[in-house]
Amino acid sequence: MNIFVSSLSFRAKKEDLAELFKPYGEVASARIIINRETRRSRGYGFVEMPNDTEGNAAIAALNGSEHMGRTINVAVANDRPEKVE
């Protein structure tokens, strides 16, 4: 399950994101989206959890919670649209 996390602190690192989700199950990957020009966080990221039940539990528990001084939003990520060439 791919999970979208927004309103992250700009100081948050991918390790912080992984640690936040670990109590709910296995975290396959965590990434923070970075602005290419400024090399700073854009304030959102994605967490991949292989088990949907654990992913849904994490979403239910963490959506609206506080992390690093910010109230975060957690939801199932939308699939990327396929590129048309």
pLDDT of residue 84: 66
Rounded CA gap, 25 and 79, in Å? Answer: 22
Contact status, residue 52 vs residue 15, Cβ threshold 8 Å: no
User: Whole-prediction pTM value?
Assistant: 0.90
Conformational region of residue 25, where left means phi above 0, alpha means psi within -120 to 50, and beta covers everything else: left
pLDDT values of the chain reduced to their tens digit, one per residue, 85 residues: 999 999 999 999 999 999 999 999 999 999 999 999 999 999 999 999 999 999 999 999 999 999 999 999 999 998 776 666 6
Contact status, residue 48 vs residue 1, Cβ threshold 8 Å: yes
pLDDT of residue 85: 64
- Could you give all domains of the chain from N- to C-terminal order, each with its CATH number? 2-76 (3.30.70.330)
pLDDT of residue 79: 77
